[in-house]
Each structure stands twice: as C-alpha cells, then as structure tokens.
Amino acid sequence: MNKIKTIGVMTSGGDAPGMNAAVRAVVRTGLHYGYKMALIKHGFSGLINGEIMEAGFTSVGDTLQRGGTFIGTARCAEFTTEAGQKRGAQMAKIFDLDAVVVIGGDGSYKGALALSRQGISVIGIPGTIDNDIASTDYTIGFDTAMNTALDAIDKLRDTSLSHDRCSVVEVMGRRAGYIAAQVGMAAGADVVLVPEEDYDIDRDVIGPLIETRNKGKKHFIVVVAEGVGMTEQLSEAITKYTGVEARPTILGHIQRGGTPTLRDREMASRMGHFAVELLHNGKENRLVGYRNGVLVDYDIEEGLKMTKKMDPKDVEISKILAQ
Ligand code: F6P
C-alpha cells in the first residue's frame, strides 16, 4: 500500500482522440481503489492557476466516445520555468494532490518530470496522434488520426482519378513520419516523404512518378509529412516536371478531431487503468508504455532518454507496391 490519498489527472499538449477515455479510466480506477480523484483543467497551465476540481463517478460519464479532451489542454510555456514549476507544485499541495497522472506527449512528460522533482508523484500516459514517444510502441490517438487521414485520402483519390491528377496530401507529424508512412502504405500512395529521410526531388518524386505514369497509371497520390513541408511548392514542381496536374491538400488539425476508434478507446482504457494500478502498487514517477503487445512502465528519467526510430521499411514497402 502507499501514502497516496488524492490523485489528479490532466491532459497536456496537443489533444488526441482517446484522451477522454484515458481520463475516465484513471478516475474510475482511482475511485474503485478508494482514492479521492481530481480533474486538472488545461494541463500544467490549469495546475498553476488552480483549475482543479474533485471528480466523482459521473464527472467522467458520457466522455469516452468523444473526441478532443473535455478537461481541456494547453502547451504551457510558464511551466518550463522554475518559478512556474514551483507554483504548480504549490497548487498541487494546496489541493492535496499526492500524485498527478499526465496524459500527453514528450513535452508533457518533461513537465511531469519537473513536477516530480518538486515532490509530487507523477505517472505519464502517452497521448499524441504522432506516435513519436520513445518509451512506447503506441500512443493514444494515433489510430484515429490515421483513419481520419486515410478516409480523406480515399476521397481525394476519387477526384484525382476522375481528373487524371496527382493529389499531394500533407499529413500531421512535425518531427515524425509515422502517420505519413503508415497512412501512405494503406492509401496506396505512389510517393511517401517523411522527415526522418532526406529526399531528392528528381530521384524520389519526379522520377518515380514519371516511371509509374509510363506504365499506364494516370492518377497519383503523394503523401508528405508536415515536417517535410513545402507541400504547395512540391505540387507545383510535380505539375511542371511530370506534366500531370497536381493539387495540394493540407489535412491539418482535422486529424486531431473526431470520435476515437476502438483501438484508441481500448488502449486509453487499459493505460489509464494501468497508471492508477502503478500508484496503487506503490510505484511513482513512471511512464506507461506498450511494448510488444503488453503494457510496461519505465522510470520517467530513463523513458525520456530513450530514442525511437521509424522503420525505413515502412516507406520502402509503399515504393515497391507503387511501382
Ligand atoms: O499533437 C501533435 C501535433 O498534432 C503534431 O502532429 C503537429 O505538428 C502539432 O501537434 C501541431 O500543434 P498545434 O496544435 O500547437 O499547432
């Protein structure tokens, strides 16, 4: 058993579909074990400002099927400063929070680490559509975002096919190409560009498109990760050098919204439950992860030092299948 009486939960950074299901799981598991539970609104910013309220069973009712995060989120610059961190920890103490569960990405984990250094126990749950957290194979929101992007690309394919055009689609992922690589493969993209790989426009875009066109194909899909960028310029270059009319589409924040898929609700429910079990079993300052099909936990400092690399094979497969 442990000394913890009250557990707070927050969502932080970019929202991701499934975050609500994770909050619900944390609150309901905590109540199940007899803890007092609290919702911290708007991430670390809400912690600093004392936007904290007690949560009962019904506080999280009718939320798990909803997109976004009903407790709000923020990217909080103030919490990157020592003064902000001290203020956040002070607020946690004022509201009797012994532990805080932080649902978010790498930046939010850094905030959680800072909070732990101020004497508040923390647990991190991976929540970001980008799937770019090193201490886990899966992050909440990834599946829903990919399905949203896939649905959009399927629709773009209909119009590209009708006009014999090339659709150049930018998907989210500033630092990571996981969405681009997997959606590109599933959408049958002719070219996939990810920030992890350097590319040469002639070798990797124009050349392959001309080769495919020479085999008789008339419509094309190019998927570009946000971190590669230059989507409009790329589209213009494709029109100019291949003779195929290209049109750019930036999917943007639409990928962050919508009803979470089964996978995201299930993973969020399991991870939220697991996070509270860690605290209940006396563990603190851990990151929840999913490795080779099972839930695991890592020390927060160790987890933040880990690195993750996209498998280049994911892009390679799309190339092979397109040609
Ligand atoms: O949450 C991750 C993410 O959606 C990235 O894919 C994207 O680069 C970034 O957030 C956008 O952030 P913001 O909503 O602050 O523009």
Secondary structure of residue 313 in the 3-state scheme:
helix
Can you give the residue ranges of every domain in the chain?
A: 6-141+260-305, 144-256
pLDDT at 271 over 80: yes
> How many angstroms is it from 66 CA to the middle of ligand 1?
19
Average of per-residue pLDDT across 171-198: 96
pLDDT of residue 107: 96
pLDDT in tens, 194-253: 999 999 999 999 999 999 999 999 999 999 999 999 999 999 999 999 999 999 999 999
Rounded-to-integer distance, Cα 307 and Cα 85, Å: 26
pLDDT of residue 97: 98
172 lines ligand 1 (CB under 6 A): yes
Record the tokens describing residue 63, joined without a space: 């939320």
- Cβ atoms of residues 80 and 147 within 8 Å: no
Which CATH homologous superfamily contains domain 144-256?
Answer: Phosphofructokinase domain (3.40.50.460)
pLDDT of residue 323: 82
Is 200 a catalytic site residue? no
- Indicate the fold that domain 6-141+260-305 takes in CATH: Rossmann fold (3.40.50)
pLDDT in tens, 279-309: 999 999 999 999 999 999 999 999 999 999 9
pLDDT of residue 272: 98
Rounded-to-integer distance, Cα 25 and Cα 19, Å: 10
Ligand 1, atom 8, lies closest to the CA of 174
Quickly state the pLDDT bin for 31 (edges 50, 70, 90): very high
Closest CA relative to residue 42, chosen from 79, 4, 67: 79
The active-site residue, picked from 15, 106, 130, 190, is: 130
Q: What is the mean pLDDT of the chain?
A: 97
Fold match between 6-141+260-305 and 144-256?
Answer: yes
Written as one letter, the residue type at 199 is Y
Average of per-residue pLDDT across 33-41: 98
pLDDT of residue 1: 53
Q: Is 8 exposed, middle or buried (0-12, 13-18, 19+ CB in 10 A)?
A: buried
Pocket-testing residue among 108, 132, 174, 255, ligand 1, by greatest number of atoms within 8 A of Cβ = 174
Average of per-residue pLDDT across 1-21: 94
pLDDT in tens, 79-100: 999 999 999 999 999 999 999 9
171 lines ligand 1 (CB under 6 A): no
Question: Residue 231: in which H helix or E strand, if any?
Answer: helix 231-242
Quickly state the pLDDT bin for 3 (edges 50, 70, 90): confident
